[in-house]
Amino acid sequence: MSADFSPVLAGRAAGGNVPAPTTPKNVPYRDGAANPSADALRSRFGGAISRVEVIWGETTVFVEPARVNEIVRWLHDDPTQRYDYCVDVTAVEYRDLDRPIEVVWHLRSLPFRRFIRLKALLQKGQPLEVPSIWDIYKGVDWMERECYDMFGIRFAGHPDLRRILMWEQYKEGFPLRKDFPLRGRFSRSEQLRQILSQNPEAKYSMEEISVVEAFEELPADVRARLGAGEKVGE
C-alpha cells in the first residue's frame, strides 16, 4: 500500500526561503491575503467554486457538494498543492431555518505550509448527502461517521457508515441538529428501558476487529517487524 517512507519537510516545497511559522500579528478580520490555492481552484474548477472568503487570515472556499471528492482529490494529488493532511470533517447548522447546513473540511498542506477550509452547502429539505473522501484520506473514516452520527449527513462512498458515539440502535435522531431537544425525544424511563435492553458485548462488528485482514494493508516495514515477533499494544 505505501511506498518507501520519505519524510515531509514542512514548507520545503514552497522554496528554500520560507520562514518558520510565527504567531501572526495584525491579521485583518476580512480581506486578508488569500491562500494561493483558492485562485488555483477557481481557475481549475471554475463553476464549482461559488465563493471565497478570507476571515482572520484563513481561506474558506465554498464548493459544489457533488464535486467535493474530485476537488479534494486534485488538492491532494496536484504537485503544486499537496494537501496531505485532512484535519477535520464536521458540519454546521444555523438556527435560521432557511440557511443551509454547511459541511466543513479542514485541509492542511505540510509541504507548502498552507491551510484551507472547504465548505459545501446542503439545502434544507434536500437529502443531506455529500461524497466521502475516505478513498483519499483513510483517516476521515471516524470523522465522517461522527458527522453522520451527530448531523445525519450521509457520506456516499464511505465503507462503513454507522453511528460511532451513540449506540447503533439509537432511535431518537441526530443530537446536534437544531430541532433536536436537549434532553432527547423520548422520556427518561423510555431511554433507560431501551439502553438497558442492549447487550454490552454486542458493540463491535467483525470487520472492525479483524486484525488479520488488515495485516496485508500494513506498510512493508511494519509487516516485517510484526512478522519477526515484535509485540504491539498491551
Binding site for other proteins (CB under 8 A): 95, 97, 165-167, 172, 175, 178-193, 195-196, 198-200
**Closest CB to other proteins among residues 173, 219:** 173
Q: Where are any strands of DSSP class E within 35-141?
A: 49-55, 58-63, 85-92, 101-109, 114-122, 129-131
Closer CB to other proteins, residue 97 or residue 224? 97
Q: Pairing mode, if any, of strands 85-92 and 114-122?
A: unpaired
Q: How far apart are CA 94 and CA 169, in angstroms?
A: 27
Stated as kind and residue range, the H or E segment containing 37 is: helix 36-45
* Coil/strand/helix, residue 50: strand
What's the min distance (Å) between Cβ of 177 and other proteins?
Answer: 9
Q: How far is the CB of 121 from other proteins (least distance, A)?
A: 20
Calpha distance 213→101 (Å, rounded):
37
- Minimum Å gap between C-beta 134 and other proteins is 24
Q: CB-wise, 137 or 174, nearer to other proteins? A: 174
From the CB of 160, what's the least distance to other proteins, in Å? 19
Smallest distance, other proteins to C-beta of residue 99, A: 13
* Nearer residue to other proteins within complex by CB, 50 or 187: 187
Quote the cell numbers at residue 214: 488488515
In this complex, which beta carbon is closest to other proteins, that of residue 31 or of residue 179?
179
Contact 69, 137 (CB under 8 A): no
